[in-house]
Structure 1
């Protein structure tokens, strides 16, 4: 009988049995004079000792505002110093940090804040085309005439405390910089005592992941989940004290705040932010000038750097390693990163928000052919099995659904026991919805998705969410959204629309309807008006046929990936 597709990450490296706050304090003491954080666009450089002073000040201020362990605090911002201070301060205060996608607009913000009952929100004034202050003001006009910290908003019943970044003042809001004032000795003592009460299995982070029902689900993660995953991801690329990691990926993603920030913290490495959002030139400049030894990104980001007209003038010889993840990694791109960017030890990581995120990762010493064509082997302390439609483990080399079990599996979806039970079975297995194959040596290849999820430039998009939104348009009778191949982003959205009888609708009208209501990356790039959808005999819509038809019409090809 052939070996079954079950693997487990046996390891002599122990799991970290501490809260993030306790570990943070010890790391800052251990690496005090070492550079902890460089934020290029804000001209910020902090040692580990300096970082701790700011984090402690913010944590004491959050407690002074009356926020208690277990309460939720949202952060809605691009990458900056304030984001990272909030991440560590919230953990030290025992608060659950709620990551809000910087691309969210009004309806998405309202849903997120209300779904998890955020009592506080820290926000940037604006980012790119998003005026965060104006959007929040639309949802909570009561801000204009309330005392800061005492908001009572009809549309956002849980939200009381709003803290804005930047030097200007806004009615009803506190200023972030004011919360960095030095705390008293008593307050620091209280923070220390609170830290002793917190437990590593407490929830500490909520990240929204779109669901096929249309509304995002709040994946709830513990200290234990993300601190350990950050540590073992860093171990896989052999991070050491003094390494400098370029982090151009968003902090609101696990890629930024876990693999980036916590990976650095657990290894005494330096977190380096090249810009507030990804800019290929800023990344190349940062790597060269900061002598970064590692760089992270989704495939799209590496492609943009490699194809930049000024790529050749940057000295990237300091680079050694890094991680490509977030969406399927094209084999040819991996080879170019190794050859052209000096990242001889670059690895691919695979996972999902619900598993903190990484469950498979290639090793720096794996053969290059393995490293560029698979997502590697199972991470330490994780179990993975591949199952068929009946839930039976399949033989090696046979495709099936990938399921993960272990320390990294989330606590659940916030306030949604039914959805949690659908995702995590009674034996503790997280069902990913991804179709994968594990070979005889334990290497894994992701071959497809059971769910219809589209991954555009590292952003997970569920078509049902877009369909539900477009159904609101009075002229749309029916709509189906699929992902089609795209060289730059991996996939782009395509909408097939059936217009109501007697009505006329243009592509521009559809896009205008979406503008300002849903995130820009969720607005379909391709829109086709049709009379019907391909269906099975039983009336089920065949999305794969829509996808194939659009590939033919647009002349698109799928790329080979790991």
Structure 2
């Protein structure tokens, strides 16, 4: 193994140069009665749709969209929980040559989604009002409340609603209507397919564009080639795979009780699947932050602050290269350019910190933007959390930066105690004084926290992750520090 921090898992199959539209049509022709998607409801019931029905219903939706004025590469919004109806709508948008704009609405007046719809110039939105119209107020917020004004968007509901507040069309009415004279457009592999929004963990969510080529090679082709290797032994929870934040050994307590095996993955909206840690079983140990080795066709390297490769075992910034990477951030060339290295090799920079072990595993250490600049020292919040979380009576911990006039930033431990636990900030401080040594920071110079703040709950993003920016603001406010 090289002394430099670089990993590469070569592809096992060549890339396929087709669109998602080509794939759904081919599956409908070659495996018409095969279940294409299965949906498990919370009550345990099971719903599915076969390849033939998926294509036919999606084709009808596509023709409706075309007759409604949707042209190639037009953006069409979609909002709501995962359902089979949503799948039909998404493939309908793709078959029409459109681009699926995934909407995550985080505020009640839907101003965040309205901004994305305006940016994408969306005229049509598919929306799910939810069970008992629980989501309908959010959908109606997308439109003008003044009855004298024209409705902003054409709304197609994915399920029936009892409300008559806004004009709408039902998906069930258009997915069976045949428009014989309407011809579906040719869609190319490198056309835009889907726009996702990032979680916004480091600021305002970005709009990430993926092409048909990205998707077909990252997911569908693997599913097709691996289907014969997947054992079908009935519905049961065989394994739990998790990611999205740094995972530690505590999470493996689900083994034996809730699942047979436990795995960890690493990826992002921009890069999709990057690495995977093979299944752990009862008795196995998980090193904090270990996310395994790259998926086939993915390269990973670690670089220092000057962009030079680090040696094995040294912490630095993670960079990724693969054919699964996003095309761009929608309508934001400046952020797109910043996200990639400025050389001809074009490595993607997810703004994560990590290291590569001598055994070839990638270890995640935190986010670049989460690093705390304490004077000349860089403190890794994830390593502070990894020490503090073992304190008895502690339920959750999140270390953040707060302003400091002399050192620029100071280390603040925010924590939530377990129900009934009498855990004070002083208790956490004493614990830290006992546990911390100078090897817990990026430069090995020490990271003993200065502030300790107890919370009842943390502010969260729609993904369930702690909203670090809001947590910083609240912690600084509780400490009577200026908020930057």
Conservation of the 8 A alpha-carbon contact between 1:382 and 1:405 = yes
* Matches of 1:233 and 1:335, distance apart in 2: 30
TM-score by length of 2: 0.71
Q: Does 1:89 align with 2:7?
A: no
1:328 aligned residue (246, 261, 267):
246
- Kindly state the Cα deviation for residue 68 of structure 1 after the two structures are TM-superposed: 0.9
SS for the counterpart of 1:397 is coil
SS for the counterpart of 1:206 is strand
Which entry has the higher C-alpha Rg, 1 or 2?
Answer: 2
Residue aligning to 2:425: none
TM-score by length of 1: 0.62
Conservation of the 8 A alpha-carbon contact between 1:78 and 1:127 = no
Conservation of the 8 A alpha-carbon contact between 1:386 and 1:400 = yes
Residue aligning to 1:202: 191
- Larger RCO, structure (CA 8 Å, separation 6 or more): 1
Query: 1:214-251: CA deviations, max 9, x gaps?
Result: 43211111111122222477599x5548767xxxxxxx
Number of matched residues?
Answer: 403
SS for the counterpart of 2:93 is helix
* Matches of 2:352 and 2:465, distance apart in 1: 26
* Matches of 1:232 and 1:483, distance apart in 2: 45
Correspondences of 1:58-457 after superposition (within 5 Å): 58-106=61-109, 107-126=111-130, 132-141=135-144, 144=147, 153=152, 160-168=153-161, 169-187=164-182, 190-191=183-184, 194=185, 197-209=186-198, 214-231=203-220, 239-240=227-228, 291-292=234-235, 316=236, 319-321=237-239, 323-334=241-252, 336-337=254-255, 339-344=256-261, 346-355=262-271, 357-363=272-278, 369=284, 374-426=290-342, 427-452=345-370
Conservation of the 8 A alpha-carbon contact between 1:232 and 1:380 = no
Query: 1:374-432: CA deviations, max 9, x gaps?
Result: 21111111221100001000011111111011211111111111111111123311111
SS for the counterpart of 1:420 is helix
Q: What 5-or-longer segments of structure 1 have no aligned partner?
A: 154-159, 245-289, 293-315, 456-460, 468-479, 489-506, 535-540, 542-562
* Matches of 1:213 and 1:172, distance apart in 2: 37
Greater percentage in helix = 1
SS for the counterpart of 1:134 is helix
SS for the counterpart of 1:358 is strand
* Matches of 2:463 and 2:53, distance apart in 1: 39
Conservation of the 8 A alpha-carbon contact between 1:143 and 1:172 = no
- Kindly state the Cα deviation for residue 334 of structure 1 after the two structures are TM-superposed: 3.1
Q: Per the alignment, do residues 117 and 50 of structure 1 end up closer, same or farther by CA in structure 2, a change over 3 Å counting?
A: same
2:479 aligned residue (527, 530, 543):
530
Q: Per the alignment, do residues 235 and 21 of structure 1 end up closer, same or farther by CA in structure 2, a change over 3 Å counting?
A: closer
Conservation of the 8 A alpha-carbon contact between 2:275 and 2:295 = yes
Q: Per the alignment, do residues 342 and 39 of structure 1 end up closer, same or farther by CA in structure 2, a change over 3 Å counting?
A: closer
Q: What 5-or-longer segments of structure 2 have no aligned partner?
A: 372-380, 383-397, 403-409, 419-454
SS for the counterpart of 1:446 is strand
- Kindly state the Cα deviation for residue 366 of structure 1 after the two structures are TM-superposed: 11
Q: Per the alignment, do residues 35 and 360 of structure 1 end up closer, same or farther by CA in structure 2, a change over 3 Å counting?
A: same
* Matches of 1:177 and 1:320, distance apart in 2: 35
Conservation of the 8 A alpha-carbon contact between 1:383 and 1:404 = yes
Q: Per the alignment, do residues 371 and 108 of structure 1 end up closer, same or farther by CA in structure 2, a change over 3 Å counting?
A: same
- Kindly state the Cα deviation for residue 132 of structure 1 after the two structures are TM-superposed: 4.3
Q: Per the alignment, do residues 242 and 93 of structure 1 end up closer, same or farther by CA in structure 2, a change over 3 Å counting?
A: farther
- Kindly state the Cα deviation for residue 74 of structure 1 after the two structures are TM-superposed: 0.8
Q: Per the alignment, do residues 203 and 143 of structure 1 end up closer, same or farther by CA in structure 2, a change over 3 Å counting?
A: farther
Query: 1:57-83: CA deviations, max 9, x gaps?
Result: 222222221111111111110121221
